[in-house]
Chains A and B, each alone.
With several copies, the nearest count.
Chain A
Amino acid sequence: MTVMSYLGAIGAAQREAMEADERVVIIGEDVEANVYGTTGAGKSRKDKGDFLEMFGANRIRNTPISEEVIVGAAIGAAMTGLRPIVDLSYSSFLYMAMDQFVNQAAKNRYMFGGQASIPVVFRSAMFYGLNTGAHHSDRPYPMFMNVPGLKIIVPSNPYDAKGLLRTAVDSDDPVLTFEACLLWGSKGEVPEEEYKIPFGQANVARTGDDVTVVAISSAVPEALAAAETLAGEGVSVEVIDPRTLVPFDTEAVIRSVQRTGRLVIADPAHRTCSAAAEISAIVAEEAFESLRAPIMRVTTPDTQIPFSPALEKQLYPNRTKIEDAVRRVTGLMANTLNTELTSPAPRM
């Protein structure tokens, strides 16, 4: 085992993937100068281990600022023999290439009756919580979940970040990664040897009996902190990190709710049509008989992200909000409408 940061783990996965398969190439803005820190040796930015020096300009493709053609070209390249990893930096820039994601990446294999596979990985980071303003703080994975044909991963720690990214590169289907910038610096143990984490297998981050908390991305550490506090109050919380949203490990969540009878979902996305909505709907349909309390969602309310430090932080799911939600579903707190939880959120 070795200790790695989340960002370091991504860099390491990329390096391994590049070494393992010559068809893997990295495409993106400023990848040559390693501006975002995942195309260097993981030490300083300019040293012998630079990806550009290791793999050459043929495989490290520094691009113009042209997201639509970058994404489209990666799809075309994937259909014809390469296995590109595309670094799109911020998740808020994905919209620039939306047509290529939805109409080409997700549909081509299907429309063409399986004539081609599209082994491509699109990486992007969600910079929310860092006062970067509305154009830099999006967490748009729910809209991609609504597009059949894409796979979506949301690693919450260095171990998962590395293992899931290796699997993503191996996948013959398009994969979108949503990395949480808030977690970039977080450290964790990672095996020395290569490993890959299968998609569709949730991680039970903490076992418990009274309430199931499904937490996504940066909400996972918050949920774990909440669980710790609640343990002190005699409430035993199970924390499930789905790790991949498509495919989603329905069974793990159902099994847990069948035991606990209560579900809270912590999801940093905007509330309406969030991943939390989907998970709630699955459980309300498939495990209704086990439910002993309302399903509560702790999400970012349906407002855009303000810049001011006086305004932003209150919006995201945090340990306190998760604790309150758990207290409500366990009857430790009056169970009033959820809207007060994220007060003064607009209600719709």
Chain B
Amino acid sequence: MDLSSQNLLEMQRRMLRIRRFDERASKMVKRGQIPGTVHTSIGQEAQVVGACMALGDGDYMSGNHRSHGHPIGKGSPLGPLMAELVGKATGVCQGKGGSLHLADFAVGSLGESGIVGSSIPIATGAALSSKVLGNGKVSLAFFGDGAANQGCLYEAMNISGVWNLPVVFLCENNQYALSTPAHTVTSGVIADRAAGFGMPGVRVEDGQDVLAVFEAVTTAVERARRGEGPSLVEVVTYRFNEHSEGLRLGTDYRDAEEKAAWVERDPIVLFRRHLEREGIATAEELDALEAEVLAEVDEAVRFTDESPYPDPSVAFKDLYTEPIGAIA
């Protein structure tokens, strides 16, 4: 893969954005500043950013409850995302979506879905529209190892195979669905399921390596762009935090050693080492980058804090494009 230093640094920047944004959000949930809960992508940044950077700016993407990482990876500004998590009027969805139900159409994010599996058909449809309109856009569906057991994935794989749709099915296998270890509820290997649906299936065993992810997804995206149809990419990774912030299960379903070993392989640390080793950036430059990102997050929080809550009447807007009745 031919990547400019600028692109490589952009990868690190986006991974850092996800990390720092999610860390801040996690704190804010625990302090009660964010209502409900949030699901962080901490630990999975390489998988998210490697996939997003393989897409073009105009390409489409759909996601799931682990929801901020995706738009951040695709280039969303942080302010409106943070404001959305808090429920402010300046949120990317005016505060109506919230953490799990974000979208940022400006960067091709067609929606994160709180319903596991439910956004896979949406990405498939975006690919259909690219195909019918001939606009060359590629679509990517993010979903977890848990979602890989929802039937709609296989309907989507089949129909996009038949129609040769420009879509990439990207399974974020962080090895757990909430408290449930993937191996206890998955028969066979997810990537291997592609073959039966007539498409390539790749398993990226080291999902902590952003370049490995980038490479695998780029192959799939290019194939899609050439009109050769869909692919399935499974990326093996790990979430460092609890399923969602603030969730307290009495039992730990994850082995402490297993966890420690994965945390050891922090994708941001690994990639920083790579950048330094390859002479792409100096330690000072990378420190500066980290400081910049931290400032961005601070700014996003400031923006959020200073933003008003939406007017109660907003609850009654945007259901329909053309309102269907008198508002009393």
Contacts and interface: CB of A to CB of B under 8 A. Distances in A.
A228 interface: no
A124 to B, nearest CB: 13
Nearest to B104: A115
B251 A109 contact: no
A324 interface: no
B312 A311 contact: yes
Interface string B258-274: 00000000000000000
A306 B310 CA distance: 11
Contacts of A114: 94, 317-318
B156 interface: yes
A133 B115 CA distance: 11
Interface residues on A, range: 35 or more
B179 A30 contact: yes
A59 interface: yes
Given A72-B122, A311-B95, A113 B318 contact: yes
B126 A337 contact: no
A146 B86 CA distance: 29
Contacts of A320: none
B122 A131 contact: no
Contacts of A68: 121, 151-152, 155
Contacts of A20: none
A112 B129 contact: no
Interface string B158-185: 1100110000000000000111100011
A303 B186 CA distance: 38
Most buried by A among B130, B149, B316: B316
Contacts of B321: 109, 117, 171-173
A307 B125 contact: no
A185 interface: no
Nearest to A82: B129
B120 A72 contact: yes
Contacts of B123: 76
A332 interface: no
B60 A80 contact: yes
A75 interface: yes
Interface string A51-81: 0000000110111111111111111111111
Contacts of A108: 103, 111
A69 to B, nearest CB: 4
Nearest to B308: A310
A287 interface: no
B96 A306 contact: yes
A112 B97 contact: yes
A135 to B, nearest CB: 3
Contacts of B79: none
B92 to A, nearest CB: 7
A82 B125 CA distance: 9
Nearest to B121: A72
Given A64-B186, A76-B124, A77-B125, A44 B250 contact: yes
Contacts of B92: 113
A79 B159 contact: no
A15 to B, nearest CB: 17
A94 B328 CA distance: 33
B152 A72 contact: yes
A110 B132 contact: no
Interface in B102-146: 102-105, 110-111, 113-133, 135, 139, 146
B253 A69 contact: no
Given A35-B178, A76-B121, A301-B316, A311 B87 contact: yes
B310 A311 contact: yes
A76 B35 contact: no
A65 B153 CA distance: 12
A60 B205 CA distance: 32
Nearest to B151: A68
A250 B314 CA distance: 24
A236 B73 CA distance: 60
B159 A63 contact: yes
A76 B110 contact: yes
A215 interface: no
7 contacts: A30-B179, A46-B250, A73-B159, A112-B111, A135-B114, A151-B324, A340-B328
Interface of B: 35-37, 60, 62, 84, 87-88, 91-105, 110-111, 113-133, 135, 139, 146-147, 149-152, 155-156, 158-159, 162-163, 177-180, 184-186, 249-251, 253, 309-328
Q: Which 5 A-B pairs have the closest CB atoms?
A: A72-B121, A76-B125, A45-B250, A307-B98, A135-B114
Given A29-B177, A46-B250, A64-B149, 12 more contacts: A66-B151, A67-B150, A68-B155, A75-B125, A76-B126, A99-B115, A112-B101, A116-B103, A247-B325, A301-B316, A309-B309, A314-B315
